Homo-oligomer: A and B are copies of this chain.
Amino acid sequence: MTKPPTRIQQRNRAAILSAGLDVFSQYGFRGATLDQIAEAAGLSKPNLLYYFASKEAIHAALLERLLETWLDPLKALDGAGDPIAEIMGYAQRKLALSRDYPRESRLWANEILQGAPRIEDILRTDLKALVDKKAQIIKAWADDGRIADVDPHHLIFSIWALTQHYADFDVQVRAVLGDKAPYDGASVFLDALYEKLLQP
């Protein structure tokens, strides 16, 4: 039987994961170094490796944690709800995720950019299955004339693209916007966009 983690273990594992998230999300797996992560976590490198077996292990732990939270908002899209409100709600939830968890968004982006070597299987199976299921719901809404007839897959892609852009391209968005805060305007824009797009 596995022993319960001590307080020190909890604290240090959490510090490592947070530091790893910082570094991996900015530099990608290859570009990140254990020394960077160790420094960010306030630990020595051998001490890092006391808590995680390898660089891979830290990265894997982060990806696993990410997968859970990342797909949840889509899972919550409810076929029994009001179509337009459901889709707009999903977009807003995803936007909030970008605002509140930008590092996670960038970790995902980096992983996909590098060809998703570690999660391609999951994309092809779990993610595809989930998206296909929700796409069917959306298609049914369109067939019933409750929303406009748009390609459900590309509709979902559009929500991902539009919301993650604000996290992944944060520095560009802020450079262009100057002082203005991005997320309020983005939220308003998204609402208007999907309202008009989906009106039957």
Q: Which of B31, B114, B161, B172 contacts A162 (CB 8 A)?
A: B161
Given contacts A153-B176, A192-B197, 6 further A-B contacts (CB under 8 A): A28-B28, A28-B30, A28-B113, A29-B31, A116-B172, A127-B176
Complex CA gap A20/B188 in Å reads: 40
B169 and A112 contacting across the interface, CB-CB below 8 Å: yes
Residues in chain B near residue A30, CB distance under 8 A? 27-28, 30-32
A196 at the interface (CB under 8 A from B): yes
Binding site for B on A (CB under 8 A): 25-32, 106, 109-110, 112-116, 120, 123-124, 127-128, 131-132, 148, 150-151, 153-155, 157-158, 160-162, 164-166, 168-169, 171-173, 175-178, 180, 185-186, 188-189, 192-193, 196-197, 199
Chain A, interface SS category: helix
Asked whether A176 and B115 contact (CB < 8 A) given A150-B192, A155-B189, the answer is no
- Please, which residues of chain B bring their CB within 8 A of the CB of A123? 171-172, 175-176
Decide if A171 touches B120 in the complex (CB within 8 Å).
yes
Q: Name A26's contact: one of B106, B113, B185, B186 (CB within 8 Å).
A: B113
